Chains A and B, each alone.
Chain A
Amino acid sequence: MTRYFTDEHEWIDVDGDVGTVGITDYAQSQLGDITFVELPGAGDQLKKGDAPCVVESVKAASDVYAPISGEVTEANAALEDEPELVNSAPESDGWLFKVKMSDASELDGMMDEAKYKDFVSSL
Chain B
Amino acid sequence: MRYLPLTAENRAEMLGVIGADTVDDLFTDVPEAARLKGPIEGLPLHASELAVERHMTRLAAKNLSAGAAPFFLGAGAYRHHVPASVDHLIQRGEFLTAYTPYQPEIAQGTLQVLFEFQTQVARLFGTDIANASLYDGSTACWEAIAMAGRITRRKKAVLSGALHPHYVATIKTMAKFTGDEIADAQPTVAPEPDEAGLIGRIDDATAAVVVQYPDILGRIGNLQTIAEAAHAKGALLIAVVTEPVALGLIEAPGKLGADIVVGEGQSLGVGLNFGGPYLGLFGCREKFVRQMPGRLCGETVDAQGKRSFVLTLSTREQHIRREKATSNICTNSGLCALAFSIHMTLLGGTGLARLAKTNHLRARQLADRLSGIPGIALVNSTYFNEFCVKLPTDAREVVRALADRGILGGVSLGRLYPDYEAIHGGLLVTATETTTTEDIEALAGALEDILAGEAA
CB distance from B293 to the nearest CB of A (A): 14
Query: Is residue B321 within 8 Å, beta carbon to beta carbon, of the partner chain?
Result: yes
Interface residues of B in 183-211 (CB under 8 A from A): none
CB distance B290 to A38 under 8 Å? Answer: yes
Please measure, in the bound complex, the distance between the C-alpha atom of A43 and the C-alpha atom of B124, giving whole angstroms. 39
Provide the residues of chain B in CB contact with A56, threshold 8 Å: 290, 315
CB distance A61 to B321 under 8 Å? Answer: yes
CB distance from B285 to the nearest CB of A (A): 15
Query: Is residue A52 within 8 Å, beta carbon to beta carbon, of the partner chain?
Result: no
Residue from B153, B290, B315, B324 in contact with A41 in the complex, judged by beta carbons closer than 8 Å: B153
Query: Is residue B320 within 8 Å, beta carbon to beta carbon, of the partner chain?
Result: yes
For A22-57 the 0/1 string (1 means CB < 8 A from B) is: 000000000000001010010000000000001010
- Which residue from chain A places its CB closest to the CB of B316 in the assembled complex? A61
Provide the residues of chain B in CB contact with A41, threshold 8 Å: 153
Please measure, in the bound complex, the distance between the C-alpha atom of A56 and the C-alpha atom of B153, giving whole angstroms. 20
Counting contact residues on chain B (CB < 8 A from A), the size range is under 10
Interface residues of B in 268-320 (CB under 8 A from A): 290, 315, 320
Provide the residues of chain A in CB contact with B290, threshold 8 Å: 36, 38, 56
Please measure, in the bound complex, the distance between the C-alpha atom of A38 and the C-alpha atom of B324, giving whole angstroms. 13
Please measure, in the bound complex, the distance between the C-alpha atom of A36 and the C-alpha atom of B324, giving whole angstroms. 16
Counting contact residues on chain A (CB < 8 A from B), the size range is under 10
Provide the residues of chain A in CB contact with B321, threshold 8 Å: 61
Please measure, in the bound complex, the distance between the C-alpha atom of A115 and the C-alpha atom of B290, giving whole angstroms. 36
CB distance A61 to B153 under 8 Å? Answer: no
CB distance from A11 to the nearest CB of B (A): 23
Which secondary structure dominates chain B's binding surface?
Answer: helix
CB distance from A73 to the nearest CB of B (A): 15
Please measure, in the bound complex, the distance between the C-alpha atom of A12 and the C-alpha atom of B321, giving whole angstroms. 26
Interface residues of B in 320-364 (CB under 8 A from A): 320-321, 324
- Which residue from chain A places its CB closest to the CB of B153 in the assembled complex? A41
Please measure, in the bound complex, the distance between the C-alpha atom of A63 and the C-alpha atom of B320, giving whole angstroms. 13
CB distance from B152 to the nearest CB of A (A): 10
Interface residues of B in 212-241 (CB under 8 A from A): none
For B145-169 the 0/1 string (1 means CB < 8 A from A) is: 0000000010000000000000000
Provide the residues of chain B in CB contact with A63, threshold 8 Å: 324
Please measure, in the bound complex, the distance between the C-alpha atom of A41 and the C-alpha atom of B153, giving whole angstroms. 8
Please measure, in the bound complex, the distance between the C-alpha atom of A56 and the C-alpha atom of B290, giving whole angstroms. 10
Please measure, in the bound complex, the distance between the C-alpha atom of A54 and the C-alpha atom of B316, giving whole angstroms. 11
Please measure, in the bound complex, the distance between the C-alpha atom of A25 and the C-alpha atom of B153, giving whole angstroms. 30
Interface residues of A in 52-73 (CB under 8 A from B): 54, 56, 61, 63
Please measure, in the bound complex, the distance between the C-alpha atom of A23 and the C-alpha atom of B380, giving whole angstroms. 59
Please measure, in the bound complex, the distance between the C-alpha atom of A63 and the C-alpha atom of B321, giving whole angstroms. 10
Provide the residues of chain B in CB contact with A61, threshold 8 Å: 315, 320-321, 324
Provide the residues of chain B in CB contact with A36, threshold 8 Å: 290
Interface residues of A in 65-99 (CB under 8 A from B): none
- Which residue from chain A places its CB closest to the CB of B289 in the assembled complex? A36
Please measure, in the bound complex, the distance between the C-alpha atom of A29 and the C-alpha atom of B239, giving whole angstroms. 42
Provide the residues of chain A in CB contact with B315, threshold 8 Å: 54, 56, 61
CB distance from A37 to the nearest CB of B (A): 10
Provide the residues of chain A in CB contact with B153, threshold 8 Å: 41
- Which residue from chain A places its CB closest to the CB of B320 in the assembled complex? A61
Provide the residues of chain B in CB contact with A38, threshold 8 Å: 290
Please measure, in the bound complex, the distance between the C-alpha atom of A38 and the C-alpha atom of B150, giving whole angstroms. 11
CB distance from B132 to the nearest CB of A (A): 18
CB distance from A58 to the nearest CB of B (A): 10
Please measure, in the bound complex, the distance between the C-alpha atom of A56 and the C-alpha atom of B316, giving whole angstroms. 11
CB distance from A84 to the nearest CB of B (A): 15
- Which residue from chain A places its CB closest to the CB of B290 in the assembled complex? A36
- Which residue from chain B places its CB closest to the CB of A42 in the assembled complex? B153
Please measure, in the bound complex, the distance between the C-alpha atom of A38 and the C-alpha atom of B315, giving whole angstroms. 12
Provide the residues of chain A in CB contact with B320, threshold 8 Å: 61
- Which residue from chain B places its CB closest to the CB of A63 in the assembled complex? B324
Please measure, in the bound complex, the distance between the C-alpha atom of A107 and the C-alpha atom of B324, giving whole angstroms. 28
Please measure, in the bound complex, the distance between the C-alpha atom of A77 and the C-alpha atom of B279, giving whole angstroms. 37
Where the two chains meet, the residues of B that have a C-beta atom closer than 8 Å to any C-beta of A are 153, 290, 315, 320-321, 324
Cβ contacts A to B, 6 pairs, < 8 Å: A41-B153, A54-B315, A54-B324, A56-B290, A56-B315, A61-B324
- For the complex with contacts A36-B290, A41-B153, 10 further pairs of A-B residues with Cβ separation under 8 Å are A38-B290, A54-B315, A54-B324, A56-B290, A56-B315, A61-B315, A61-B320, A61-B321, A61-B324, A63-B324
Nearest 3 CB-CB pairings of A with B: A61-B315, A41-B153, A36-B290
